[in-house]
Structures are given as structure tokens and as C-alpha cells.
Amino acid sequence: MPSREPACGCGRSGELSAPRLRRDSPERAGLDSGELRHLAQEVHDLTTGEHPWAAGVVVVAGRGPVIAVEEAAGWAVRYAAHDPETGRVVELPAESRVPMTVDTPFDLASLTKLFTAVAAVQQMERGTLGIDARVGAYLPEFRAAARHGITVRELLTHTSGLRPELPLYDCADDTERLAMLRAEAPLGVPGTYTYSDLNLLLLQYVLERITGRTLDVLIHDGITRPLGMLSTDFGPCPGAAATEDQRRPWAKVDRGMVRGVVHDENAWALGGIAGHAGMFSTGRDLAVFCRTLLAGGSYGPARILGADFVELLLTPPGLGFAVNQPWFMGELAGRGAAGHTGFTGTSLVLDPATDTFLVLLANTVHPRRQPADSSPRAAAATRLARSVIPSPSTT
């Protein structure tokens, strides 16, 4: 692996430092304490009952530089297995369970895409990557992408026409996986939205080609290290919340109970470092990430992006980020809120209009995946939206 080079953008001469996050009261943040008490209670309710939404949940929310809610509920590890014969979960004995804490790391799943997107926009800021450049200009050996003229913008906006995924986990080795990716042509109409992990995988290969460094190094040096996100990296992460008892037929590979290594089967087959999945982080670290973007790319003395390039990331339809999506943003949507969700139960939303952020992390796939239900994410975001106390200038 290439050596890590110094972090980018750490404090230009004459620049003021952006305020760091601090824990304080809702009132200090300009948020209604009653609404946030409801948010905290509803998070606990998500982990109770015979069929909880998730084994465990962490929520971190705030406004400006203030964290007003930081709450953990339930269990990081609750189950030993899923029994396919009875269709029931197998609970661990009480003494073997691991309680959820606000410091518990989670498998971020598709939230990894946001870090890949930021790494790409950093290269745009440096002038080494063109947003409308063709992928084939950087990766001529990716013959199908080159032949169809797929662009970097199309990868970041999921408009390349590539299918959602490929069964890379069934390939014999990396040579076969790479050959499959190189030969993959769009099935959909370019310019039409189709969410696809393959977009961010191709973008990973572009970034690694133009920089000569692997994606984990790029993200560490360019994002997590300058921001002091010490709990954020690609796995393995032994202390992470458990995910799935991963077995066929409900999963795509047979691995047993997964904890501390990436849940996504393709990212696992690729060695755990992938443009679409593979990273682990905590609620507090992701709050720093949100705060950095809300502050125009700076946090403390570090600057990871210029404000114009943050705007490029977050302007509809968003580059890597989803924008104005009520299905998980609730009432935060509709005014420029941006964010993403992850298959394992993770999500984040940042709202530039009110300078608020919400990180909701859960292990909803523990002990096995279920039909997606994002209503708790939307409800949490709605609570935060309703807690915002308008400033005198907006009333």
C-alpha cells in the first residue's frame, strides 16, 4: 500500500478556524428541548418489543457547532444467529450481549459513497479530475464504459445507466472481478437515474488511477485525518455493532454472523475497500463530517474543500449525496437537505437552510435483513425539523 501523504487543506495562512462541535443544551443550539426529548425517547422505542426496528440505535443531532442530542439505545450485539428452520432469532444470553454506546462504531454501508464523492470533488478542486470528463479518458481498459461515453458526473449522480450491482462475490478471483467490471455496459438509458453501486466502484478506479493512491489512503489523508475523525476508516473494526447472520438464501454468501468486517458482499469480495461500501464510523465522527460540510468545508483549523466545491456537492441533484428525499429526510426535505442512507441501517442528513444535522445509526440487519423501512429515519428528521427555533431574522 502506498504511504499516506500529509493531509490536505490544514489551515491556510490568514484563515479563521471554523468552530468545533461541542455538547450543549438544545436552547444553546436554538432547538426546542421538548421535541428533542421526544426524539431521544423514540430512538429508545425503536429497540424495544418483540420485533424491534433495530437491535441498537445511536442518534446524534444538533445545530451549528452544538450537539444537542447524543443518545444510544439497545444492543450492539444481541443475537447469536437467525434460525432458518423456525424463522426465529436466536438471542444471546444476557451476559454475552454487548450494550450499544454513543462510541460504538457501525458498518456505514453506502454512507461510504459520500466519502468517495468528497474525495472525487477534492480532485476536481485540484484540477486533476474533470466533472464532465469521460471515464474512458482515465480508464481506457474499461472498454464498455469508454465505448458508451460514461462521464464522471454520471457516476456521481447515478445517471450512467449501469445496473445496480454485479455478482462480484461469485467470481473466482480479483482478475475475474476486474474483467467483469471492465466489460459491463449500461443497461439503462444514460442520463436516467438508476441507483448503482457500480458507479462508485468505477469512480474508485478513476481516483486511484489519477492519484496513484488507494481509496482508503485518499480518504484518510484528505478527509478523516485532517478532521480528527479518528474512529472512521475502512475495516476491519472489531468493536463494531454486529450486522447479519449472513447465509443463503436471504444473503448472497455464507459467512455466519458478521461483526467488524464489511457486510456488503461485493465490498467483502473486493477485500473490504470499495467506493460504495466498507467504511466504519461513529455518530460523533459523522457529526464532524456533517458540520464540516455545513461550514463550507472547514472544521477547526482544517479545510478539506472550498465552499464553492461543497456547494457543488450539495446542489440538486447532488454529487454522491441525495438531496430533498422525504422518504428518509422527513420534514427536513424540500429546502436543500442532503444526505444518504446505508443498507445496514445507517443514515445522515444535513440541512444548510437551518444549519442542522442528524446522524441516525442502527444495526437493522442484525440478525438478518428485512424489508426496508425508513419511516423511523424520516420521523427522526421530522422531529429535528420541528425543533428548530426560528431566528429573529427569519420570522
Which of 235, 310, 238, 246 is CA-nearest to residue 274? Answer: 235
Distance in angstroms between the alpha carbons of the first and the last residue of the chain? 54
Rounded to whole angstroms, how far apart are CA atoms 351 and 62?
11
Residue 190 corresponds to which cell in the numbers above?
A: 444514460
Give whole-number Cα distances, 99 to 44, 47, 58, 76, 307, in Å. Answer: 13, 12, 11, 5, 39
C-alpha cell at 361: 445509526
Task: Say whether pLDDT at 2 is over 60.
Answer: no
- The residue with greater pLDDT, 270 or 12, is 270
Q: Residue 302: what residue type?
A: A
Is 6 a residue whose pLDDT tops 50?
A: no
Report how far residue 108's alpha carbon sits from residue 230's, in angstroms, rounded to the nearest whole number.
Answer: 15
For the chain, the structural domain boundaries read 22-280+293-359
Kindly report the length of the chain: 395
- Beta-carbon contacts of 145 under 8 Å, excluding residues fewer than 6 positions away, are 135, 136, 139, 160, 184, 185, 202
Domain made up of 22-280+293-359: CATH architecture: 3-Layer(aba) Sandwich (3.40)
Averaged pLDDT, 181-204: 95
Instruction: Identify the pLDDT of residue 111.
Output: 98
Tens of pLDDT, residues 226-266: 999 999 999 999 999 999 999 999 999 999 999 999 999 99
- DSSP assignments along 76-92, one per residue: EE-EEEEETTTTEEEEP
What is the per-residue pLDDT for 392?
Answer: 66
Question: What's the rounded Cα separation, in Å, for the pair 364 and 350?
Answer: 22
Give pLDDT tens digits for 274-316: 999 999 999 999 999 999 999 999 999 999 999 999 999 999 9
**184 phi, psi to nearest 5 deg:** -75, 120
- CA separation for the pair 182, 60 (Å, rounded): 40
Q: Is the pLDDT of residue 390 over 70?
A: yes
Of the pLDDT bands very low, low, confident and very high (cuts 50, 70, 90), residue 13 is very low
Q: How confident is the model at residue 188 (pLDDT cuts 50, 70, 90)?
A: confident
Poorest-pLDDT segment among 61-75, 81-95, 125-139: 81-95
- The pTM assigned to this predicted structure is 0.94
DSSP state for residue 222 in the 8-state scheme: I
pLDDT tens, 327-375? Answer: 999 999 988 999 999 999 999 999 999 999 999 999 999 999 999 899 9
Share the mean pLDDT of the chain.
94
Burial bucket for residue 235 (CB in 10 Å: 0-12, 13-18, 19+): buried
Nearby residues of 50 by Cβ (< 8 Å), 6 or more positions away:
none
Pairing of strands 298-299, 302-303: antiparallel
